[in-house]
Amino acid sequence: MLRFVFRRLIQLVPILLGLSILLFAWVRALPGGPAQALLGQRATPEAVRDIEVQLGLDRPLWEQYLQFLWRAVRLDFGASLQTGQPVVDEMMRRFPATIELALCALLIAVAIGIPLGYLAARRHGTWVDHVVVSGSLLGVTVPIFFLAYLLKFVFAVQLGWLPTAGRADARARTEHPTGFYVLDGIITGDLGASWDAITHLILPALALASIPLAVIVRMTRASVLNVLNEDYVRTAEAKGLLAGTITRRHVLRNSMLPVTTVIGLQLGVLLAGAVLTETVFAFAGVGKFMADGIVERDFPTIQGFILVIAVIYVVVNMIVDLVYGLLDPRVRVS
Amino acid sequence: MSVTEAGSVPVGKAPLEAGKPDTDSRPPARGLRGEAARRFFRNPMAIVGLVLIAIFVTVAILAPWIAPYSPKDNSWLSEVRPGVYPGPSAEHWLGIDPLGRDVFSRLVHGARQSLLIGVVSLTLGATAGVFLGLLAGAFGGWVDTVVMRFVDIMLSVPGLLFAIAVAAMLGQSLTSVMIAIAVVNVPIFARLLRGEMLGQRTADYVLAAKSLGISRAGIVFRHVLPNSFTPILVQGTLTLALAIVEAAGLAFLGLSGSDPSTPEWGRMLNDAQSTLAAAPMLAFYPGLAIVLAALGFTLVGESLREALDPKMRR
């Protein structure tokens, strides 16, 4: 097992290095070069030259790359062009919001997706199966931001059941020791604030959950169908095991393996989707900050966001792989 | 064998003969492709998808003739007041937008934009991806390692983010949107074709071709590539759906062509954001258009995949 972990860690190195080269090249290729991009509207030839010297853009390329790498390792992406504050501070402040949202969406996707996929597989070929499959196809095709609009319009604007935007009621005066609003309410004993945060989370989380939900449903269905046809399930049935026991011990345990992988892979979809969802709901997370950054051409923010998300994505995928190896010894060998 | 085929065994023969294949009563022999086509066209999902695609493509191509007005014509600005946006009428089937333009005409022309972005980005991305996959699959060894590491790096950034980065780098233009989406598609096709080629390496016809002394290029181009065509076709159809949704997402974030008056579904949806309470339909129309167009390609792609899957054969 240790060798397997080590091997996966080693495989991470070229990917992260490659990614850093790609991002370095990206900054170099920005319109007018990095100095121009940093200064934006305020770019005069003198200012551009000053920045170039300041950033070391007059030095050899490999030296610049090493400098870039060193800064990236320390999470130093420079100051955001929107606020003038360091990008990493801005992101740290907003990350709890996005993580809260992504976890909430993932929870919805898993809690609905697995039972639904299982049901479809059990009722294979019936109308239940057809409805679930068509629904999951629709889930993949509906753009997140359009779904977000629909939800917002129906449940917030028309029915008024849930708030239209933001993370908490603007009038609320609550402490936020962690930045996770639901958790903060529990910590400070203000359960009303927790509830308020949850109501603000429901609609954006539902919109964000649509694609992972569809993917999990399809994967669960396919995986359960596969396992149901296995000899060991037939053997279990033949020796007269209770249906519940077969489901728990044989079907679910074996069919959930590929589903765990897919759940891990959804993290990237969730974090990228947050850019769109948070924009519709004016939800103050990193996604919204990134979306504003695109409009404002805030390149340090875009760069920092992409690097951080990519690293999270790669690391999570590796963890999923490791967990898979833990659950299924066959993976370790190959 | 289906029920009708089983039931069509001629009666009146000796019982022992009944189970034997009867050449006269068997359906005409069909190749694998014919079999797949039969399954495809029997699938209602495929038919719905084909109809949606047909409508989408027809509207996109004939947009100037279908749309009653120019999509940029804002002659009806005087009829618009803050909070009051004229709804559907005989002259304007879907009403007028806040800038005094005919919504139906913009929606119709938006189809053109979507199809253009989808087809161009798919063609670019698939070509580059197939080329990379071909290199990796045909040469193997260090070429394979280098190409696949490159693909891994590209896949380490979630697709939409990658597209955002590329589009932001290339600046505001239609071309940059197309390239951004194409770049995201490259690793998908590269990985797909490489996998296909590895799978076929030990296939009988490849071994036969090798033993006949056919060159590597000959085997790759004349045998392996044509045999990999179907999975690429399936992936291409599904990718087209994704491209339409991604293009809308980029436009929604403000990354699209430089001219804001160009009709584009994603941007129309974004513009409608400010008038959601007063004129929700302005967001609903372009959103529905994106869904239907993307759904058409998804349905056809999934049906194709199912029809071509040998496991589904009965």
- Average pLDDT, whole number, for chain A? 82
List, for residues A60-75, the tens digit of each pLDDT value: 778 888 888 888 888 8
| pLDDT band with cut points at 50, 70 and 90 for residue A333 | low
Nearest to A149 among B158, B254, B287 (CB): B287
**With 60 as the cut, is the pLDDT of residue B301 above it?**
yes
CA separation for the pair B163, B182 (Å, rounded):
9
Residue corresponding to tokens 């019982």 = B15
* A31 — pLDDT class (breaks 50, 70, 90): low
Q: What percent of chain A has pLDDT over 90?
A: 8
pLDDT value, residue A301: 84
Which chain A residues have a beta carbon less than 8 Å from that of B271?
none
* pLDDT reported for residue B313: 47
Between A333 and A137, the higher pLDDT residue: A137
Cα–chain-centroid distance for residue B23?
A: 41
Whether residue B51 is predicted with pLDDT greater than 90 in this model: the reply is: yes
Q: Which two tokens stand for residue A268?
A: 């990237």
DSSP A84: S
Q: Chain B: residue nearest A267 by CA? A: B158
Q: What is the pLDDT of residue B32?
A: 72
User: Which of A12, A17, A140, A146 to mutate: most B Cβ within 10 Å?
Assistant: A146
A117-150 pLDDT tens trace: 999 988 887 888 888 988 888 888 888 888 988 8
Residue in chain A lying closest to B248 (CA): A143
Rounded distance, CA A186 to CA B218, Å?
68
d(CA A130, CA A125): 7
Which site among B181, B252, B306 would you substitute to test the A interface, given the most A Cβ atoms closer than 10 Å to its Cβ?
B252
C-alpha–C-alpha distance, residues B52 and B57, integer Å:
9
8 Å CB contact of B164 and A145: no
Whether pLDDT at B74 is above 70: yes
Is A282 part of the contact surface with chain B (CB cutoff 8 Å)? no
Place of tokens 């999990």: A216
Band (A217; pLDDT cuts 50, 70, 90): very high
Cα–Cα distance, B154 to A299 (Å, whole number): 20
* Confidence check: pLDDT of B123 > 90: yes
Average pLDDT of span B232-251: 88
Task: Give residue B27's pLDDT.
Answer: 54
Taking the C-alpha atoms of residue B99 and residue B257, their distance in angstroms, rounded to an integer, is: 18
When pLDDT is averaged across residues B179-200 and rounded to a whole number, the result is 88
* pLDDT over 60 at A287, yes or no: yes
CB pair distance less than 8 Å for A297 and B253: no
CA nearest to A114, candidates A208, A219, A266, A250: A219
Q: Which residue has the higher pLDDT, A44 or A93?
A: A93
Angle between helices B281-308 and B32-42 (to 10 degrees): 140
Q: For residue A225, how far is the Cα from the chain centroid?
A: 28
Residue B20 has pLDDT above 80, yes or no: no
Strands (E), B6-145: none
pLDDT at A334: 52
- Flag whether residue B188 sits within 8 Å of chain A, measured between CB atoms: no
What is the structure's pLDDT at B9? 44
Specify whether the CB–CB gap between A332 and A325 falls below 8 A.
yes
> How far apart, in whole angstroms, are the C-alpha atoms of residue B287 and residue A146?
6
pLDDT of residue B3: 42
- B6 pLDDT more than 70: no
Per-window interface: A 155-174 vs B, CB < 8 A: 157
B165/A304 Cα distance (integer angstroms): 11
pLDDT-based confidence at B11, cuts 50/70/90? very low
Single out the residue of B101, B91, B118, B99 nearest to residue B289, CA to CA.
B118
| Cross-chain residue pair B157–A146, CB shorter than 8 Å | no
Query: B121 falls in which pLDDT band (50, 70, 90)?
Result: very high
B214: helix, strand or coil: coil
Q: A234-243, A272-281, B23-32 — which is least confidently predicted?
A: B23-32
Give the range among B94-98, B133-137, B139-143 with minimum mean pLDDT.
B94-98
Q: What is the pLDDT of residue B4?
A: 43
Q: Mean pLDDT over residues A307-334, rounded?
A: 77
Residue with tokens 């294979």, as numbered in its chain: A124
Residue in A18, A153, A313 closest to B158 by CB? A313
Contacts of B98 (CB under 8 A, 6+ apart): B80, B85, B271, B274, B275, B279, B282
Q: What is the mean pLDDT of residues A75-104?
A: 85
Interchain CB contact of B149 with A (< 8 Å): yes
Does B22 score more than 60 pLDDT? no
Say yes or no for a CB contact (<8 Å) between B149 and A14: yes
Chain B contacts in chain A segment 89-148 (CB below 8 A):
134, 137-138, 140-146
The pTM score is 0.81
Q: State the pLDDT confidence band at B314, using cuts at 50, 70 and 90.
A: very low
Tell me what ipTM this predicted complex has: 0.80
Contacts of B53 (CB under 8 A, 6+ apart): B296, B297, B300
CB hemisphere CA count around B148 (13 angstroms): 16
User: Confidence band (pLDDT; 50, 70, 90) for A235?
Assistant: confident
Write out the DSSP string of B29-66: P--HHHHHHHHHHH-HHHHHHHHHHHHHHHHHHTHHHH
Whether A31 sits inside 8 A of B171 (CB atoms) is: yes
pLDDT above 70 covers a percentage of chain B that reads: 88
Residue B16: pLDDT over 60: no
Say which amino acid occupies A312: I
Is pLDDT of A182 > 50? yes
Rounded to an integer, what distance in angstroms lies between the CA atom of residue B266 and that of residue B175?
16
Q: What is the mean pLDDT of chain B?
A: 80
Question: Inter-chain contact A19–B159, Cβ cutoff 8 Å?
Answer: no
pLDDT band at B278 (very low <50, low <70, confident <90, very high): confident
